[in-house]
Structure 1
């Protein structure tokens, strides 16, 4: 979740805005690309992937994949791979409208994390995850254990720093860049032998991100990104995924001196007095205040938070949880921030 210096993460986006691409709409499924990489540029197997401190050898394009997170599921669906997904898990939000039809036949193993037995019951030959907690001790299973059963695995590069999973117990030391997300898309496309679909998806995201940030500049107005939990708010720090949103729109994160997603006290928030609140509307009930209505009720009813000018002036932007995570939906988040800016920017 930012630091005040402008990060290099979206440096290439302005150039891509000049390309005038005609890609799909909001994070849409790429049509008719399931075999797009056949012929020239087709994946050569066995494929060896260096992935967050592990080496994975993919003997052939996976046919039965389980995705342990919504983020990776929506990438796979966007690549046209719904027929190969035998299970998904860990959802914070409804599926994108543009992917709803593709998702209809995909089994959901669990709304949160499945058990190892449930995972094996889907009979996967490949497992993906956006967050390394699933592969940590006490999670779904370890990658070593999957290797022992002949199942290859993949972890999003957005959750990796110096060969360790951030969400699995590591520490982020360098700012997350959008290139990590694009690497994930391209690597999954290569693994599944749909390289052209991967390039088309990346180009579409680049074009939309450039358009969503064109002319948007909050001029350093301060912001708090609140993901979850009313008791001890889980907020965006300075090096993680929300930094992708703040840096590109000229927002200054009040917690940009922290590494990723710290837990803070409300006293810290009130002392910092953010100009704007960006809050997560999570369609789950894992922590108190996951849902937007509960967050708003808390902000307006708590004696401490109701003193915030951002609350009193209703300077609140609601994003889905997936739009605050390092996923293809970061573009949807940028577009919502842009829409709020167009309507309210002159009043700041």
Structure 2
């Protein structure tokens, strides 16, 4: 759920860099495929590497990467953590747009990569790193009003990659966080891992990461029976809360556990709902986003719980009275490798509260 800032005009030095990148980085378009990411790779060419160029049909855009990137920029925490998990810190020159501390185990790798901004950096700031590859988790990041539309990077010969989880089976044409036309699954996240592993020429690492994630899902859900249990996911904002609709990352968590989302009747990614409706739905367990950013009201879990327990509309909800809360990072509530963390933590909370076997 990103919030971008306006793009500032480029300085002359940046425009000079743009010209250099344009001359050095232009490539021919790749082959077309589905609306997600499908990849193919060619043999080693002049100045290339084994398995390159890599051609992807990514969110309906043809992308060609001539050689494994050496100066990659990730514009969202989700793509950053995939790259770090693939052992690519030494090939990254910048990250941006963070909602949480980095995933456990990635702290040392993350410390090696410059943070360009806690939120969305300017296009100029990104170009100052001289990137040869740019990735983002959200269409809004690589769109009008975000860092820059993908076309602006294309003109400079810089390949871009957008997480398939934010385009496949999703309509982002409205003003909100998008509408799901079909339920998201972990296959989209696994596909993203494999795409990025192919782009960087580390396919074996990608397969190991995917296998590890699948194993964790199996372990978390083994023997779990949460049928009849209702969950509600609150990401941010105490005035007009963003709550999860049916079919995004929280839907993956809910479906993996066999539970029910209290707002499974809306396909909006994160609809804003009034508190009277929230209280009326009265879920068994509240899944609460614990964010470290400072863009909305009630970002931290502590602030959210304080609100729930003091507001006359919410304080008598079943989950509030029984303090049935589970705290998740923002990344665990977004479609990323940390969605698996969400499955694990919600499963553990269901068991600890006696809501599931």
Is the pair's TM-score, using the shorter chain for normalization, greater than 0.5? yes
Deviation for aligned residue 1:179: 0.5
Q: Is structure 2 residue 84 aligned with structure 1 residue 62?
A: no
Q: Tell me the equivalent position of 2:289.
A: 280
Query: Structure 1 residues 281, 334: CA separation in 2 closer, same or farther (over 3 Å shift)?
Result: same
Equivalent residue for 1:249, pick from 257, 260, 278: 257
Q: Does the 8 Å contact 2:169/2:184 carry over to 1? A: no
The alignment's TM-score, normalised by the length of structure 1, stands at: 0.85
Aligned residue in 1 for 2:318: 309
Q: Does 1:160 align with 2:164?
A: no
Match of 1:240 among 225, 245, 248: 248
2:226, 2:356 within 8 Å by CA — same for their partners in 1? no
Aligned CA-pair RMSD? 2.1
Q: Which residue of 2 aligns with 1:231?
A: 239
Greater shift after overlay, 167-176 or 300-309? 167-176
Structure 1 residues 154, 168: closer, same or farther in 2, change over 3 A?
A: farther
Of residues 84, 93, 101, the one that matches 1:94 is: 101
Query: Quick one: structure 1 residues 167 and 123, their matched pair in 2 at CA, closer, same or farther if it must change by over 3 Å?
Result: farther
- In structure 1, distance between residues paired with 2:247 and 2:345: 21
How many angstroms apart in 1 are the aligned matches of 2:170 and 2:229? 35
Structure 2 equivalent of residue 26 of structure 1: none
The alpha-carbon deviation at position 278 of structure 1 amounts to 0.5
Take 2:315 and 2:203, find their aligned partners in 1: how far apart are those partners?
50
The Cα shift of 1:47 comes to 1.6
Separation in 1, partners of 2:303, 2:290: 9
- Does the C-alpha gap of structure 1 residues 305 and 43 become closer, same or farther in structure 2, counting only changes over 3 Å? farther
1:23-38 alignment, distance < 5 Å: none
User: In structure 2, how many angstroms separate the alpha carbons of the residues matched to 1:154 and 1:347?
Assistant: 39
Structure 2 residue aligned with 1:138: 145
CA contact (8 A) 1:275 1:315 kept: yes
In 2: Cα distance, 1:163 partner to 1:43 partner: 34
1:168 and 1:271, CA in 2 relative to 1: closer, same or farther beyond 3 A? closer
Deviation for aligned residue 1:219:
1.5
Displacement of 1:153? 0.1
Out of 193, 196, 199, the position equivalent to 1:191 is: 199
- Structure 2 CA distance, aligned partners of 1:139 and 1:347? 42
Q: Specify the alignment match of 1:210 in structure 2.
A: 218
Aligned length: 310
More divergent stretch after superposition (285-294 vs 333-342): 333-342
Contact residue 90 and residue 113 of structure 1 kept, 8 A = yes
1:297 maps to what in 2?
306
C-alpha separation in 2, matches of 1:163 and 1:223: 23
Distance 1:314 1:347, change over 3 A: farther
Describe the superposition over 1:184-204 as per-residue Cα deviations: whole angstroms up to 9, x where unpaired: 000000000000000000000
Write out per-residue CA displacement over residues 107-134 of structure 1, whole angstroms, 9 at most, x where no aligned residue.
0011111111111111111100001111
Structure with more contact order per residue of length (Cα contacts < 8 Å, sep ≥ 6) = 1
Q: Normalising to structure 2: TM-score of the pair?
A: 0.83
CA shift in 2, pair 1:247/1:346, >3 Å = closer
For residues 162 and 89 of structure 2, the distance between their equivalents in structure 1, rounded to whole angstroms, comes to 19
Deviations 1:311-337 (A, max 9, x none): 011011111111111111112112212
Q: Unaligned regions of 5+ residues in structure 2, if any?
A: 2-43
Instruction: State the distance in 2 between where 1:167 and 1:64 align.
Output: 33
CA distance in 2, matches of 1:107, 1:85: 8
Match of 1:340 in 2: 349
Residues 66 and 85 of structure 1 are in contact (CA less than 8 Å); yes or no, is this contact kept in structure 2?
Answer: yes
1:144 positional shift: 0.5
Q: 1:233: Cα distance to partner?
A: 0.6
